[in-house]
Amino acid sequence: MKKLLFSLLFVSQTIVLSQEFSKELFVSDKDSLPYRLLLPKNFDKAKKYPLIVFLHGAGERGNDNELQLVHGKDLFINMNKNNTFPSIVVFPQCSKNSYWANVSRINNSFSFLGDPTENKSLKLVEGMINELQSNFKINSNQIYVGGLSMGGMGTFELVYRNPDMFAAAFAICGGANPKIGEKISKTNWRIYHGDKDFVVPVKLSIDMYNSIKSFNKNVYLKIYPNVNHNSWDNVFREPDLFKWLFSNSKAN
C-alpha cells in the first residue's frame, strides 16, 4: 500500500511539473507554430512581465509540442518556482523540415545564406511574440531571446530581423554570418561554446563575438575547455545567467 501511494504521488508530481508549461498553438493563415508557455509564480494579469523566448536545437524539431522542452525546461521551472525573476517564458517548436536559421551544412562546414529575412519559422516566432504582447502585459524594454545549437543560430538571426526588440540575447554553440554583427549590436550578448564541439565549430561563436565587439563592448564570450556540443549543460549551471539577463533593459 505504501509503495502504491508513493508511486501515485510520484506520478502526480511528475504531471504537475509537466503542466507548468502549458501547451499552446499560434496560427497564422495556413501555418501554425506549437509552443509551450510558462507563466510566473503568482501570475497577476494586471502586471507587466519580461518575456523570454527560447529556441531549441535541431534534434527537438517536430509538431508534438513536447520535444522542445528536452533541454532547459528545468532551468526555467526552477526560476519560476523561486520567483527570483518573474517572467513569461516561451519555447516555440520548429517543424521537422524547417530550421531556425538560413544555413546549409556539408559535413562539419556551415554556410549562412546571406540576408536572413526570408525564414518562415522565424516569421511564425515573430507572430507568436506579437500575439503574446496582445494577450499579456509584456514589458517591451525587457524582451530576451536565447537558444542552443540551431536555436543559437536562430537567436542571432531573430535579433537581426528585429534589431530594436531584444534587450539581451544568449547564444549557445551556435553561429551566424559575421557580416550581420553591426545590425545586431544594439542588443547585449552572451555567447557560449565548447572548444571540443564536433557538431558546430567553436570558430563560429568566436567570429560572431569579434564581429559584435567591433560595435558593442557589451558582448561576452565563454569557451568551455574539453566540452563537446552539449555546452548548454555548462551554461545552465552558470550562477549569474539570469542575473545578467534581467539586468539588461532597453530603458537603460
3-state secondary structure of 170: strand
- CA–CA dist 93, 144 (Å, integer): 17
Q: What is the mean pLDDT of residues 87-108?
A: 92
Tell the residue number behind the cell numbers 565563454, with chain if given.
222
Task: Check residue 1 and give its pLDDT.
Answer: 43
3-state secondary structure of 109: strand
Task: Check residue 252 and give its pLDDT.
Answer: 73
Interstrand relation of 168-172 and 138-148 (parallel, antiparallel or unpaired): parallel
* CA neighbor of 180 nearest in space, from 126, 135, 117, 90: 117
Helices 120-135 and 150-161: crossing angle in degrees, nearest 10, is: 70
The grid coordinates listed for 193 are: 561554446
Q: What is the mean pLDDT of residues 217-242?
A: 97
Q: Are 155 and 184 in contact, with CB atoms under 8 Å apart?
A: no
- CA–CA dist 50, 87 (Å, integer): 5
Torsion angles phi and psi, residue 119, rounded to 5: -155, 110
Assess whether pLDDT exceeds 80 at residue 232: yes
Q: What is the mean pLDDT of residues 203-230?
A: 97
Residue 116 CB partners (closer than 8 Å, separation 6+): 101, 102, 122, 157, 160, 161, 176, 177, 180
Report CA 208 to chain centroid distance, whole Å: 17
Q: Are 147 and 154 in contact, with CB atoms under 8 Å apart?
A: yes
Q: What is the mean pLDDT of residues 190-218?
A: 97
Task: Check residue 7 and give its pLDDT.
Answer: 37
Q: Which of 77-81, 142-146, 165-169, 218-222 has the lowest mean pLDDT?
A: 77-81
Task: Check residue 15 and give its pLDDT.
Answer: 35
Average of per-residue pLDDT values in the chain? 91
- The pLDDT tens digits for 7-26 are 333 333 333 333 489 999 99
What type of residue sits at position 98? S
The pTM score is 0.90
Over the Cα atoms of the chain, what is R_g? 18
- The pLDDT tens digits for 110-169 are 888 767 778 999 999 999 999 999 999 999 999 999 999 999 999 999 999 999 999 999
Q: In what order do the strands lie in the sheet with 219-224?
A: 22-28, 31-38, 88-92, 49-55, 138-148, 168-172, 188-194, 219-224
Task: Check residue 239 and give its pLDDT.
Answer: 95
- Residue ranges and CATH numbers for the domains of the chain are 24-247 (3.40.50.1820)
DSSP-H helix ranges across 72-168: 73-82, 120-135, 150-161
